[in-house]
Structure 1
Amino acid sequence: MDAIELLTQQHREVDELFEKFEKAGEGKDELLMDLFVRIADNLAAHAIIEEKIFYPSVYVGPTADKLQEAVEEHLSVKRVIADLLDMDPSDVQFKAKMKVLQELVEHHVEEEEKDLFKSVKKLMTKEELAVMGEQLEAMFSEVIQTQPRMQVPRETDEAAPLA
């Protein structure tokens, strides 16, 4: 699977988790917490592979401005996740904050898929995207097992560096 296909697939998986969260009823705190943990871990691991491999690899010419915005969007997402880590699903603001998180992620995904990924396809060969896809998948598989959400509070001071 190439890099863009992998990242797009991960976008869909998180979107499905947000849908499950929305459908979970009141009084389902355990389910809500489980879904939040899965969403937060997936988003944290996804951000790591983008910031460590994908973004630096495509940080040239036409994508540079888009990537600066992307890491700022990641920072906003991380700050909301950090807030949620200190909350309980029974907290009156928990669902509202989850909705804000979902909206931030949806906006970020839309920009990546409509703009950034198209630019990257013009910059890289299919072979380069395939090799990067393998690297991204390997790192994601490794990171997802480490409860990556727990690292997020340490990453909320400033956006990740691109170089």
Structure 2
Amino acid sequence: MDVIGLLSQQHREVDALFLAFRNASDDTSRRELCIPLAEALMLHSTIEVRWVSPKASRVVGDEKIEHAE
């Protein structure tokens, strides 16, 4: 899988976790979703910072990437 495919998959997973969190019926259910949600967000952020931002920076410049962050 390419980086864009992985990032797209991560978007879908994070969206699904946020939806599950929003629709959780109680605090216990929400707490159980916090760790998977945090892990998914960290992975997503790592993918962007490690692979997407450096390549994008070469195309559009560091200043635009810093502003986008």
Report the TM-score when normalising by structure 2: 0.78
After superposition, the Cα gap between the structure-2 partners of 1:63 and 1:34, relative to the gap in structure 1 and judged at 3 Å, is: farther
Task: Show the counterpart of 1:18.
Answer: 18
Q: Tell me the C-alpha RMSD between the 2 structures.
A: 1.8
Percent identity between the two aligned chains: 37
Provide the residue aligned with 1:93 in structure 2. none
What count of residue pairs does the alignment treat as equivalent? 68
Measured in 1, the distance between the counterparts of 2:15 and 2:68 equals 18
Deviations 1:135-158 (A, max 9, x none): xxxxxxxxxxxxxxxxxxxxxxxx
Q: Which runs of 5+ in 1 are unaligned?
A: 72-163
Greater RCO (CA < 8 Å, at least 6 residues apart): 1
> How far is 1:63 from its partner?
5.7
List, as ranges, runs of 4+ consecutive aligned residues in structure 1 with deviation greater than 6 Å: none
Give the corresponding residue for 2:44: 46
Query: Could you say which residue in structure 2 is the equivalent of 1:8?
Result: 8
Map 1:25-64 to 2 at 5 A: 25=25, 28-62=26-60, 64=62
AA partner of residue 2 (structure 2): D
CA distance in 2: counterparts of 1:41 and 1:22, whole angstroms: 17
Q: Residue 75 of structure 1 aligns with which residue?
A: none
Q: Which has more helix, going by share of residues?
A: 2
Closer, same or farther: CA 29–40 of 1 in aligned 2, 3 Å = same
The two structures have a TM-score, normalised by structure 1, of 0.38
